[in-house]
């Protein structure tokens, strides 16, 4: 049993009830660290609880209350929730993203639907951009009864999910099906329509509010002496051309300049296009790279070479002069030592920017130096009734972050239209591992998703990572510790020496009979998830 810390002088004087009792137990819901870390604001613990009972559709519906694309996020989310999972201090974290993918795929396989709102508010909202943020906002606003119209410059929905994430990570079938489910709710998407004047579009369309979520589809440029423009391509353009079936002709040796996730995707895509040698040039080391480590490892497994601590100084034909760097306090510093590398083509993967120039006619709008748009606490920009989110605003950039922005924007927009401003509700206290009463320990390491062997990956764009079976999803969901929230394990009920705990029935938890309770805190000790607090006083 763990050592339990009690309020001073309470344990030794806890016997008795009423005025004699010096403390009493109360059931308390706390915030699981996974929930707190989710950029989309999912109630992860709630849907895991349903999934572990085999109630998959119910779990999916809880998930869908916050995130309309679980089959997508279960594949491409960087699962920051798992980084905070308390189970990691026992054996290994719960594979939350894999269970989410399973639920998303089950919904597509079984045709589970979200019913459109039966009540129309009469309000019209224009969303610019059919990427993850725009689609998320459209889903939530449509569910609130508003009319939603999305204008997108591209020929299909998905934004960078479609044109920036290779199919081996995100198969288009699942993406398209989840987009279609949003459309089926009554969302209207106008394709091949690039908005150049928001104020004019808003007025002519009779829209009551606008949400701008255009994403980042412009590659950052860099000036390299002697560069041959004919041999240089940016990573975003490459990935888009491949998706459109217009892959460029590349030489036998291709260099990719950059160390983020897009650089890894570009390098792995190049290998799939039949290029014998793909090499990444990056100015930092692996420990300090922008990409997630698993992305780099998968690239290395597929034969991509990575030249760490190198930066390009000059290009002369196929000869690349690179300077060796060293890290000082995590920052790359030139050493004055140079090497020569050879490559037939160079792909720039130095980050992306949003094309926000068309917003400059909005009164009161403010931009940061990188072109991102400054938003207020209510996500509104400059002109009243115009909101922004996703990659075009300052902050972290990922599909899940963008989806979270869309949900949050929907709430602020709805508050703006209803005249009742949205207020972020107070959150419960986060429960860390040290607060769990682990009087038992069961080792049950996570199930690892299987990967296609590296030698079978590079010849095609088939999905690399497999999903979980139903049995595996059940097992993985059952590994959840239910941190901070009662899961009706009967530990308190069975341990109470005074029979002061009353079972209320399945799903209703328990209550205390304080006429019998002595405040002995045995229930507190026995609760494995810290769903009981000892409160000073009778």
Q: Is residue 71 part of a domain?
A: yes
Beta-carbon contacts of 271 under 8 Å, excluding residues fewer than 6 positions away, are 278, 302, 303, 304, 458
Domain check: are 96 and 137 in the same one?
A: no
Domain check: are 291 and 328 in the same one?
A: yes
Q: Is residue 433 part of a domain?
A: no
Domain end, chosen from 307, 329, 350, is at 350
Distance CA 53, CA 33 (A): 22
Domain check: are 407 and 376 in the same one?
A: yes
Domain check: are 132 and 193 in the same one?
A: yes
Domain check: are 407 and 504 in the same one?
A: no
Give the domain CATH number at 98.
1.10.1060.10
- Domain count across the chain: 4
Domain check: are 227 and 375 in the same one?
A: no
Q: Is residue 481 part of a domain?
A: no
Rounded to two decimals, what is the model's pTM?
A: 0.91
Sole residue written with tokens 């423009």: 229
Domain end, chosen from 311, 335, 350, is at 350
Give the range of the structural domain holding residue 232, as residue numbers without chain letter: 221-350
What is the reported pLDDT for 16?
Answer: 60
Q: Is residue 190 part of a domain?
A: yes
Distance CA 35, CA 72 (A): 19
Domain check: are 530 and 468 in the same one?
A: no
Domain check: are 385 and 324 in the same one?
A: no
Domain check: are 195 and 228 in the same one?
A: no
Q: Is residue 5 part of a domain?
A: no
What is the reported pLDDT for 1?
Answer: 40
What is the reported pLDDT for 68?
Answer: 98
Cα-Cα end-to-end distance for the chain? 27
Domain check: are 183 and 284 in the same one?
A: no
DSSP 381-410: -SSTTEEE-GGGSSS---HHHHHHHHHHHH
Instruction: Tell me the mean pLDDT per 10 residues along the chain, length 538.
Output: 45 55 91 96 96 97 98 96 95 97 98 92 97 97 98 94 94 97 97 93 95 83 71 91 92 94 95 96 93 93 96 91 92 94 93 80 84 88 88 84 96 96 91 88 88 91 96 96 93 94 92 93 93 90
Q: Is residue 296 part of a domain?
A: yes
Q: Is residue 428 part of a domain?
A: no
Distance CA 476, CA 445 (A): 9
What is the reported pLDDT for 370?
Answer: 76
Give the domain CATH number at 341.
3.50.50.60
Beta-carbon contacts of 209 under 8 Å, excluding residues fewer than 6 positions away, are 123, 125, 126, 385, 386, 387, 413, 416, 417
Domain end, chosen from 370, 394, 418, is at 418
């Amino acid at each position: 049993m763990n050592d339990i810390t009690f309020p001073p002088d309470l344990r030794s004087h806890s016997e008795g009830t009423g005025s004699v009792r010096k403390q009493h137990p109360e059931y308390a819901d706390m915030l699981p660290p996974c929930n707190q870390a989710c950029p989309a604001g999912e109630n992860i613990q709630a849907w895991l609880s349903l999934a572990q009972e085999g109630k998959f559709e119910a779990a999916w519906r809880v998930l869908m209350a916050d995130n309309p694309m679980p089959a997508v996020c279960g594949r491409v989310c960087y699962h920051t929730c798992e980084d905070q999972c308390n189970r990691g201090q026992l054996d290994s974290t719960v594979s939350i993203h894999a269970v989410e993918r399973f639920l998303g795929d089950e919904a597509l396989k079984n045709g589970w639907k979200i019913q459109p709102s039966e009540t129309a508010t009469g309000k019209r909202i224009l969303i610019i951009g059919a990427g993850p943020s725009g689609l998320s906002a459209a889903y939530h606003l449509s569910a609130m009864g508003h009319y939603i119209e999305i204008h997108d410059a591209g020929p299909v929905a998905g934004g960078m999910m479609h044109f920036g994430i290779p199919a081996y990570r995100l198969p288009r079938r699942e993406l398209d099906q989840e987009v279609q489910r949003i459309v089926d709710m009554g969302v209207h998407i106008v394709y091949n329509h690039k908005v150049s004047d928001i104020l004019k579009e808003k007025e002519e369309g009779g829209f009551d509010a606008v949400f701008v979520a255009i994403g980042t589809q412009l590659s950052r440029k860099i000036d390299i002496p002697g560069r041959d423009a004919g041999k240089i391509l940016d990573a975003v353009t490459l990935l888009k051309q491949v998706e459109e079936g217009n892959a460029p002709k590349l030489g036998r040796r291709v260099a990719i300049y950059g160390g983020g996730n897009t650089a890894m995707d570009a390098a792995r895509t190049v290998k799939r296009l039949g290029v014998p040698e793909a090499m990444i040039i990056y100015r930092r080391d692996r420990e300090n790279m922008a990409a997630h480590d698993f992305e780099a490892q998968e690239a290395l497994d597929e034969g991509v070479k990575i030249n760490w601590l190198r930066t390009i100084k000059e290009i002369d034909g196929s000869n690349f002069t690179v300077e060796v760097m060293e890290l000082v306090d995590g920052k790359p510093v030139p050493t004055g030592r140079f090497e020569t590398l050879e490559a037939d083509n160079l792909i720039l993967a130095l980050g992306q920017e949003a094309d926000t120039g068309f917003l400059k006619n909005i009164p009161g709008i403010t931009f940061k130096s990188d072109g991102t748009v400054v938003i207020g606490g209510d996500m509104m920009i400059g002109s009243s009734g115009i909101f922004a989110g996703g990659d075009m605003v300052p902050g972290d950039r990922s599909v899940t972050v963008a989806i979270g922005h869309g949900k949050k924007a929907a709430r602020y927009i709805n508050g703006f239209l209803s005249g009742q401003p949205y207020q972020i509700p107070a959150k419960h206290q986060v429960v860390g591992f040290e607060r769990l009463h682990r009087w038992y320990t069961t080792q049950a390491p996570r199930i690892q998703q299987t990967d296609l062997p590296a030698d079978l990956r590079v010849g095609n764009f088939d999905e690399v990572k497999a999903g979980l079976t139903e049995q595996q999803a059940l097992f993985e969901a059952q590994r959840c510790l239910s941190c901070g929230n009662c899961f009706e394990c009967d530990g308190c009920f069975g341990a109470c020496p005074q029979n002061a705990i009353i079972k209320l029935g399945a799903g209703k938890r328990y209550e205390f009979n304080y006429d019998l309770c002595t405040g002995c805190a045995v229930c507190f000790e026995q609760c494995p998830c810290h769903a009981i607090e000892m409160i000073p006083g009778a």
